[in-house]
Amino acid sequence: MATVEDGRFRFHIEISHPLTGLIVRYRGWLVPSDPHGSSTMEVPATLPRSRQP
């Protein structure tokens, strides 16, 4: 799923398999490039403690 909110491109991507369940989940947002051509990506969420390496 992807939407635009407050000028940011917000995304929530999940990949799963019917037998194994959730494989990976990405959530965050992208902001437009600055005039110098660089862009930033911010990811506010972290993995639950049980899934962190």
DSSP 3-state assignment of 45? coil
Which residues, 6 or more positions from 4, have their beta carbon under 8 angstroms from its beta carbon? 10
Q: How confident is the model at residue 1 (pLDDT cuts 50, 70, 90)?
A: confident
Q: What confidence tens digit (pLDDT) does each residue in 7-40 have?
A: 788 889 999 999 999 999 989 888 877 666 555 5
Q: pTM (2 decimals)?
A: 0.47
Within a domain: 15: yes
Within a domain: 18: yes
Within a domain: 9: yes
Within a domain: 40: no
Within a domain: 19: yes
Within a domain: 1: yes
Within a domain: 38: no
Query: Domain range spanning residue 1?
Result: 1-31
Within a domain: 24: yes
- For residue 20, the model assigns a pLDDT of 93
